[in-house]
Amino acid sequence: MTDLSKARRENMRWNLLNALNKARPIGAQDELLLTVIQSLYDDCTPKELHSELEYLKDRDLVIIDKQPSGHWHAKLNSNGVDVVDYTVHCPAGIARPSKYWN
Protein backbone atom coordinates (compact mmCIF):
# COMPACT_ATOMS: atom_id res chain seq x y z
CA MET A 1 0.00 0.00 0.00
CA THR A 2 1.25 3.47 -0.89
CA ASP A 3 1.78 6.03 1.85
CA LEU A 4 -0.02 9.01 0.31
CA SER A 5 1.39 11.61 2.70
CA LYS A 6 4.94 10.40 1.99
CA ALA A 7 4.31 10.46 -1.75
CA ARG A 8 2.86 13.98 -1.43
CA ARG A 9 5.90 15.29 0.48
CA GLU A 10 8.41 13.73 -1.90
CA ASN A 11 6.55 14.92 -5.00
CA MET A 12 6.20 18.40 -3.50
CA ARG A 13 9.97 18.55 -2.95
CA TRP A 14 10.67 17.59 -6.55
CA ASN A 15 8.21 20.20 -7.82
CA LEU A 16 9.79 22.86 -5.60
CA LEU A 17 13.21 22.03 -7.04
CA ASN A 18 11.82 22.32 -10.57
CA ALA A 19 10.08 25.62 -9.83
CA LEU A 20 13.26 27.03 -8.33
CA ASN A 21 15.22 25.80 -11.34
CA LYS A 22 12.89 27.79 -13.60
CA ALA A 23 13.41 30.85 -11.36
CA ARG A 24 17.21 30.73 -11.64
CA PRO A 25 19.31 32.72 -11.01
CA ILE A 26 17.03 35.00 -8.99
CA GLY A 27 15.05 32.42 -7.02
CA ALA A 28 11.48 32.89 -5.83
CA GLN A 29 9.44 34.18 -2.91
CA ASP A 30 7.42 31.67 -0.92
CA GLU A 31 4.16 33.28 -2.14
CA LEU A 32 5.00 32.35 -5.74
CA LEU A 33 6.13 28.85 -4.76
CA LEU A 34 2.92 28.36 -2.77
CA THR A 35 0.89 29.25 -5.86
CA VAL A 36 2.83 26.70 -7.91
CA ILE A 37 2.39 23.95 -5.32
CA GLN A 38 -1.28 24.79 -4.75
CA SER A 39 -1.88 24.17 -8.46
CA LEU A 40 -0.99 20.54 -7.65
CA TYR A 41 -2.11 20.31 -4.01
CA ASP A 42 -4.81 22.89 -3.45
CA ASP A 43 -4.81 22.36 0.31
CA CYS A 44 -1.09 23.11 0.76
CA THR A 45 -0.48 25.66 3.51
CA PRO A 46 2.40 28.12 3.93
CA LYS A 47 3.52 26.06 6.94
CA GLU A 48 3.70 22.88 4.85
CA LEU A 49 5.57 24.73 2.10
CA HIS A 50 8.09 26.10 4.60
CA SER A 51 8.54 22.64 6.07
CA GLU A 52 9.44 21.18 2.67
CA LEU A 53 11.74 24.09 1.87
CA GLU A 54 13.53 23.51 5.19
CA TYR A 55 13.93 19.85 4.26
CA LEU A 56 15.56 20.84 0.96
CA LYS A 57 17.79 23.32 2.81
CA ASP A 58 18.84 20.61 5.27
CA ARG A 59 19.76 18.44 2.27
CA ASP A 60 21.95 21.33 1.03
CA LEU A 61 19.93 21.80 -2.16
CA VAL A 62 18.51 25.29 -1.62
CA ILE A 63 19.41 28.56 0.05
CA ILE A 64 16.68 30.27 2.06
CA ASP A 65 16.57 33.91 3.09
CA LYS A 66 14.01 34.32 5.87
CA GLN A 67 12.89 37.92 5.65
CA PRO A 68 11.67 40.08 8.57
CA SER A 69 8.23 40.26 6.93
CA GLY A 70 7.83 36.53 7.53
CA HIS A 71 8.22 35.64 3.86
CA TRP A 72 10.96 33.40 2.60
CA HIS A 73 13.04 33.74 -0.54
CA ALA A 74 14.55 30.51 -1.86
CA LYS A 75 16.91 29.62 -4.65
CA LEU A 76 18.80 26.56 -5.79
CA ASN A 77 22.43 26.19 -4.91
CA SER A 78 24.84 24.24 -7.12
CA ASN A 79 23.86 20.92 -5.50
CA GLY A 80 20.19 21.58 -6.25
CA VAL A 81 20.97 22.42 -9.86
CA ASP A 82 22.91 19.17 -10.22
CA VAL A 83 19.98 17.14 -8.85
CA VAL A 84 17.52 18.82 -11.24
CA ASP A 85 19.94 18.36 -14.15
CA TYR A 86 20.35 14.63 -13.33
CA THR A 87 24.13 14.97 -13.04
CA VAL A 88 24.28 13.56 -9.49
CA HIS A 89 22.43 10.96 -7.47
CA CYS A 90 19.12 12.23 -6.07
CA PRO A 91 18.90 12.01 -2.28
CA ALA A 92 16.22 9.82 -0.75
CA GLY A 93 13.05 11.71 0.11
CA ILE A 94 12.69 13.45 -3.25
CA ALA A 95 10.48 11.96 -5.96
CA ARG A 96 12.71 12.67 -8.95
CA PRO A 97 11.47 10.62 -11.90
CA SER A 98 13.86 8.13 -13.43
CA LYS A 99 15.88 9.42 -16.36
CA TYR A 100 14.39 7.85 -19.48
CA TRP A 101 16.51 9.62 -22.10
CA ASN A 102 20.15 9.31 -23.03
As a CATH number, domain 4-84 is: 1.10.10.10
CA–CA separation, 6 and 94 (whole Å) = 10
* Cβ-contact 37, 53 below 8 angstroms: no
Strands (E), the chain: 28-29, 62-66, 72-76
Nearest to 92 by CA among 56, 45, 39: 56
pLDDT of residue 26: 96
* Distance separating alpha carbons of residues 27 and 53, to the nearest angstrom: 13
Burial string for 1-16 (b: 16+ CB within 10 Å, else e) reads eeeeeeebbbbbbbbb
- Check residue 102 and give its pLDDT: 67
Question: What is the model's pLDDT at position 29?
Answer: 97
Q: Give the pLDDT confidence score for residue 2 in this predicted structure.
A: 66
Q: Which ranges of the chain have pLDDT less than 70?
A: 1-2, 102
The pLDDT score that the predictor gives to residue 22 is 98
